Amino acid sequence: MKRGFALLETIVVITFVTVSLLLLYSTFTSMVDNSKKNALYDDATNIYKIYYLKEYLELNGLAFYMNGEDIRKLSCDDFSFASCTQIMDTFSLENLYLVKYGLRDYNQDNYTSSFNNYLKSLANSDDYDYRLVGEFTYEGEYHYASIGVIK
């Protein structure tokens, strides 16, 4: 009788420890995945690059493109200054988007999944009309940063 109780007690303890470790493992792996994803979003260096680019573009006609479209992909053809491609290359900027602030419903098929995930991760608590979103490429990975723009 005593041996049966010890065996049952051992099985219960092993089961409890196993379930606890599985829960801990799933929590830990989701934290690691989120931290890897967040490392690609809103890096301080990229935010500064977007800020200076926004300041430069505001002097060169950025307000003209805030015309009610939900998402507008901006290119150097849109602006009249010659150094645009040089700036994009220097900043490792792959794409530049002007996105309506607070945007949630748009045709996601037109954009990459990483861009869509970035837009979903953004907070909408500030009072801006648009946000300038930069898509940077480093070592084959897309990194994103954005800054609010007032019309």
Q: Output the pTM of the full model.
A: 0.71
Please determine, for residue 1, whether its predicted confidence score (pLDDT) is greater than 60.
no
| Residue scoring higher pLDDT (35 or 7) | 7
End-to-end CA distance of the chain: 81
The whole-chain average pLDDT of the chain stands at: 82
What are the residues whose beta carbons fall under 8 Å from the beta carbon of 126, sequence distance 6 or more?
A: 101, 148
Per-residue pLDDT at 65: 75
Contact 143, 46 (CB under 8 A): yes
Q: List, for residues 89-118, the tens digit of each pLDDT value.
A: 888 888 888 888 877 778 888 888 888 888
Please determine, for residue 8, whether its predicted confidence score (pLDDT) is greater than 60.
yes
CA-based R_g, the chain, Å:
24
Domain locations in the chain as residue ranges: 1-39, 41-149
Per-residue pLDDT at 16: 94
Per-residue pLDDT at 15: 95
Please determine, for residue 24, whether its predicted confidence score (pLDDT) is greater than 80.
yes
